[in-house]
Amino acid sequence: MITLDSSALIAITNADDPDHSAVTTALLSEREPWFIPQGILAEVAFMLEKLGADVLDRFLQDVEDGPYTLEDSRGDIPRVRALAYRYRDLSLDFSDAAVIACAERNDGRVLSVDRRHFQGVAREGKITLVPELG
């Protein structure tokens, strides 16, 4: 099981993304469920809309039918707040904190190509980043 962040979902959905192949391979090597925190849906939809309405529709169809599991993250708000405060020097935003909180509840694995905010948390053993990038 793994939690996906926005960068991974964009790469998986967009075949022209330079990370598409690596991220898709990494995802397919993970057992389901593949978690998407509700807190990142607006961010993902906003980015996918820029690629076209059909791209957004295909993504939403995947969320509706599977293989993704949409995580209700309302209970994560206290942890999101604590993460944002603890890692304020990294400018950890709401979406990334929501991904981390979800991952902590679900095996600690995060699929992401955006290492900027996640690496500091990963160094402290809170989460594991996938795929491992050189």
Please write down the long-range contacts of 119-126, taking CB distance under 8 Å and 24 or more positions apart: 120/87, 120/90, 121/83, 121/87, 121/92, 126/100
The string of pLDDT tens digits covering residues 116-131 is 888 888 888 889 999 8
Of 4-8, 33-37, 61-65, 130-134, least confident by mean pLDDT is 130-134
Which pTM does this prediction carry? 0.91
Q: How many domains is the chain partitioned into structurally?
A: 1
Q: What range defines the domain where residue 70 resides?
A: 2-130
| Placement of tokens 């942890």 in the chain | 79
68: CATH: 3.40.50.1010
